[in-house]
């Protein structure tokens, strides 16, 4: 078992009530704290050699899908977490909850007594091997046949009407596959400062560094959306450290 002492992690102070009526009254901060805790727990305890094997095997393919395989690995790890399951959380991936069928989102974590859902978009990140990956974390340019190019994916999906339209938060998970994670984080924040073409929807208002249990591989970005604040919680997983 990997130790990864640099990861700061503690269970949320607020524990699960046993009364169903009390569960229904819990606010988003309660649910989000537990979800983010389980993501940190994954990061602290995942099997590095197992994950490295997945990455290496995928890179031997003609058309590698490393990002998708890493997202599947994360979902399966969470689904196998006994405590998470006992607390009643559900982890959904792709569009059908079938790991062999690709859908249009990477992961949703939900609970029967939580009115909202926690959406997560996953992206690979690297500086040297493919500089475009930093940009793709924000959005990807796609070229539909016979149409003008448009943007999609990454952070952009929270502001083009696709993700988390009924709530004021969402999540971004970056899989760092090389280079300095702090430099990658700084480049992401720099790119987030650029105006979206959906302006003012999605425009950056504020950054909160080390936002999740004071870990320096996390930050929150607060954006303008529908006249209100929309918060994205970012976690960058260094899978080569």
What pLDDT digit, counting tens, does each position of 219-238 carry? 999 999 999 999 999 999 99
211 and 218 in contact (C-beta within 8 Å)?
yes
- In-domain check, residue 7: no
- In-domain check, residue 12: no
Residue 17 burial (CB count, 10 A): 14
Instruction: Give, for 27, the enclosing helix (H) or strand (E).
Output: none
Residue 219: domain span: 20-238
Mean pLDDT of all residues in the chain? Answer: 89
* Confidence check: pLDDT of 174 > 80: yes
113 and 23 in contact (C-beta within 8 Å)?
yes
Share of the chain above pLDDT 90, in %: 71
The predicted model gives 5-28 an average pLDDT of 92
Confidence class for position 97, pLDDT limits 50, 70, 90: very low
Confidence class for position 100, pLDDT limits 50, 70, 90: very low
- In-domain check, residue 170: yes
- In-domain check, residue 13: no
Residues 6+ apart with CB under 8 A from 130: none
- In-domain check, residue 4: no
Distance from C-alpha of 184 to C-alpha of 176, rounded to nearest angstrom? 8
Residues, the chain, total? 241
* Confidence check: pLDDT of 194 > 80: yes
Pick from 66, 117, 114, 116: which is nearest to 91 by CA? 117
Q: What's the DSSP call for residue 158?
A: G
Residue 98: what pLDDT?
45
The count of domains in the chain is: 1
Residue 153: what pLDDT?
86
Residue 101: what pLDDT?
46
Classified as helix, coil or strand, 164 is coil
- In-domain check, residue 149: yes
Residue 130 burial (CB count, 10 A): 14
The predicted model gives 102-112 an average pLDDT of 80
* Confidence check: pLDDT of 94 > 80: no
The order of strands in the sheet holding 204-209 is 89-92, 107-111, 118-125, 169-176, 228-238, 218-225, 204-209
pLDDT in tens, 34-68: 999 999 999 999 999 999 999 999 989 999 899 99
Classified as helix, coil or strand, 221 is strand
Distance from C-alpha of 137 to C-alpha of 153, rounded to nearest angstrom? 8
- In-domain check, residue 71: yes
Residue 47: what pLDDT?
94
Distances (CA, A) of 179 to 126, 128, 184: 6, 7, 8
Confidence class for position 146, pLDDT limits 50, 70, 90: confident
- In-domain check, residue 58: yes
């Amino acid at each position: 078992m990997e130790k990864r002492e640099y990861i700061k992690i503690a269970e949320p102070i607020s524990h699960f009530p046993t009364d169903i009526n009390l569960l229904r009254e819990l606010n988003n901060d309660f649910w989000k704290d537990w979800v983010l805790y389980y993501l940190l727990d994954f990061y602290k305890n995942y099997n590095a050699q197992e994950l490295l094997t997945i990455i290496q095997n995928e890179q031997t393919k003609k058309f590698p899908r490393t990002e998708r395989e890493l997202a599947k690995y994360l979902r399966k790890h969470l689904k196998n977490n006994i405590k998470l399951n006992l607390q009643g959380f559900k982890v959904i991936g792709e569009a059908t909850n079938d790991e062999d069928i690709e859908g249009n989102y990477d992961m949703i974590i939900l609970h029967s007594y939580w009115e909202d859902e926690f959406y997560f978009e996953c992206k690979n990140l690297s500086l040297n091997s493919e500089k475009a990956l930093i940009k793709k974390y924000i959005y990807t340019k796609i070229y539909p046949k016979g149409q003008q190019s448009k943007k999609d994916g990454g952070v952009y999906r929270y502001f083009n009407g696709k993700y988390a339209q009924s709530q004021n938060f969402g999540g971004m998970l970056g899989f760092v596959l090389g280079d300095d994670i702090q430099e990658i984080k700084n480049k992401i924040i720099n790119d987030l400062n650029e105006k979206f073409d959906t302006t003012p929807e999605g425009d950056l208002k504020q950054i909160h560094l080390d936002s999740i249990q004071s870990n320096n591989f996390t930050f929150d970005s607060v954006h303008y959306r529908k006249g209100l604040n929309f918060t994205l919680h970012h976690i960058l997983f260094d899978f080569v450290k």
